[in-house]
Structure 1
Amino acid sequence: MKRISPATVTVGVFAILFGLVAAYATKRYFAAPEPVPPPTESFVVARINLPQYARIREQDVEVIQVPLGKAPEGALRMRNNAVFRLTRDSIRAGEPIFEADLYEIGKSPTLADQIPPGLRAVTVSVDREAAVDGLILPDSHVDVSLTVHGDHPELNGVATLTLMRNVLVLATNQNRYPGEERMYRSLRTVTLAVTPEQSNRLILAERYGSLSVSLRSSVDDALAAGDVDDNLVNPSDLLNLSPIEPVAQVQKTVHIWRGTQMQELTFLEDRIQESYDTTAAIERRQSGVPAVVPTGFGNEKQHQDGFLYDGDAAYDADEPTHDWPFGESRSTSQLNVVRPNG
């Protein structure tokens, strides 16, 4: 048997390789060309539900590809265009994010953006010890209470009443807008959304007492904003004490004679005390001690001799004449004496 030379083997191997290459080239030549993928474009969508005033994190958004011309007009194209910015309104998961949905880079909401139409923003100081510290947040609803001290009979020294109900909180000194990271300090002020009339009530209330706020349930809408009921509470109500009846003042009657004409005047005890104070002031003035003389009742003065003289409450005994409330001018020597009756 004749042996195959190495040269013959080499030629055969090259022939086989050449045939395979020729077959592959022929197949590619007669095969249909692969389709060219259509052009695409990308835009940014929310991966989770984003509340109003939320600061967007990188994991909160994603970029999706769609055929060219299918992306919403105005939608953001790159993730970096949305990250670390605040949302102006809530955005649902899967919704595209537009430039108008976000505040400008480095910007945050202003108070004017949060005020409902027709209302006003009023900032009031609240009692730190009576406030729900740390739980009052923007978008909460609260009741506003007023505590006053005074000597009015219905107060019994001190009383508290609900001034307004179901009032929207716009901001606090801890949080300027919903979703903002809380500043670690005590609750001292709250900014409320109220009507113009209610804003005046709050401003006036701050001058007469201290305000406090109580947090309302999110589903409690039994009373509309600003509605109040009769809920005045004072120490007597708190301790179930009987109210103190006011002491009736004793009345005193004075007859004033002018010739044959008599005029009767009635005074309460507090007015008589005021007359005594006026007399003391006049005596100090006559003795050379400067003093401010209060005006008496009906322009009468009671002197140290126990009589009342009609005349100017702050008259100077050294002055020769005076203008009297009855339209005539008389000297002090013409004064008529009047005597008090029991």
Structure 2
Amino acid sequence: MRMVFGLVLLVGLGLAGGAVMMAKNYISAYQNELANERAARAQVVPTVDVIVSERPLKYGEVLAKEDVRVVRWPENALPEGIFTDMSVLFPEGGDNRRFVLRAMEKDEAIMAIKVTEPGEDAGLTSRLERGMRAFAIRVDVASGVSGFLRPGDRVDVYWTGSVDRISDNARGDVTKLIEAGVKLIAVDQTAGGDLEEAVIARTVTVAVRPEQVAALAQAQTTGSLSLSLVGADDDTIAGGIEIDQRTLLGIETAQIEAQAEEEKVCTIRTRRGAEVVEIPIPCTN
């Protein structure tokens, strides 16, 4: 009997020791996993909710709630002017619609600079920077770069006209660069840059300073204007370009010097003793 009791006691002690070891291993593994998870969380970048476009958006469209969605965005890489609250982007009450001012692709962050204020129309005024004015230039297929102009492009403006009645040193028709790198903000009545094909415009609208408005108005009244498209990555500024007819054809102006006609002097000879003297008298012919 005592042997059986001792055997049971030994078995119980063995089972208890095994249970303790299993519990110790489990707790140790749990603590290791917990430490690994905490270390992983420490390396994760904090994020915030940001409102982005659900689909491609074009200039002039009305921005609706179904056109946007909320995504998680890294907190240390937030663009300036983003929206994080739907109630701010879509305020309640009245006509508080917002319009798209700049084309946006899918999943692009909605920014204040890309949409109008609530209830504001998407007009040209939103495209004019401080101190700039909008001015319309008449163009055709030749002067308008064959219809390949788009809002946002930059152009050089050339004036062609006659200077015969302006300068005493008349040179006929002259073509001169009067404005360089002017920005287009509209083509006809289209201010968005999403034109799918070439459009033969009748007018283009440029953003210029007030003094440039006066110069362009005078130039458009006294001659014809032509536009030259500037490359997207071209940062050079042209200047001092002027061509007249003689320069174009390579004709050099001959310098004719007027030679004064020699004045005629008439004389008569008379003898005074042994000396002969010439006395000037008025010429009769």
TM range (shorter): 0.5 to 0.7
- How many pairs are equivalent? 192
Distance in 2 between the 1:135 and 1:204 partners?
Answer: 26
Give the 3 Å change call, closer, same or farther, for CA 155–143 of structure 1 in structure 2.
farther
Per the alignment, residue 184 of structure 2 pairs with: 169
| Aligned counterparts of 1:133 and 1:195: Cα–Cα separation in 2 | 26
The answer for the alignment partner of 1:231 in structure 2 is 241
Is it true that 1:242 corresponds to 2:269 in the alignment?
no
**Equivalent residues in 2 for 1:132-281, closer than 5 Å:** 132-151=145-164, 152=167, 156-173=171-188, 175-179=189-193, 181=195, 186-223=200-237, 229-245=239-255
C-alpha distance in 1, partners of 2:201/2:136?
A: 12
TM-score normalised according to structure 2 size: 0.53
> Unaligned 5+ residue runs, structure 1?
1-42, 78-83, 251-342
Residue 118 of structure 1: aligned partner: 131
- Partner of 1:233, secondary structure, is strand
Residue 46 (str. 1) matches residue 53 (str. 2):
yes
Cα 1:150–1:76, aligned 2, differ >3 Å: closer, same or farther? closer
- Give the fraction of aligned pairs with identical amino acids, expressed as a percent: 27
Distance 1:126 1:45 in 2: 39
CA contact under 8 A between 2:53 and 2:67: conserved in structure 1?
yes
Higher relative contact order (CA 8 A, sep 6+): 2
Separation in structure 2 between the aligned mates of residue 183 and residue 249 of structure 1, nearest angstrom: 65
5+ long unaligned stretches in structure 2:
1-49, 73-83, 91-96, 261-285
Aligned-residue offset at 1:183: 9.6
One-letter identity of the residue aligned with 2:227: V
Aligned-pair Cα RMSD in Å: 4.2
Between Structure 1 and Structure 2, the one with more helix by share is 2
Could you give the per-residue CA deviations for residues 265-285 of structure 1, whole angstroms, max 9, x where no partner exists?
Answer: xxxxxxxxxxxxxxxxxxxxx
Contact map agreement 1:75 1:98 (CA 8 A) in 2: no
- Within 1, Cα distance between the matches of 2:222 and 2:259? 28
Kindly provide the amino acid, as one letter, of the partner of residue 204 in structure 1.
Q
- Output the TM-score relative to the length of structure 1: 0.45
User: 1:94-109 residue pairs with structure 2 within 5 A?
Assistant: 94=107, 97=110, 102=115, 109=122
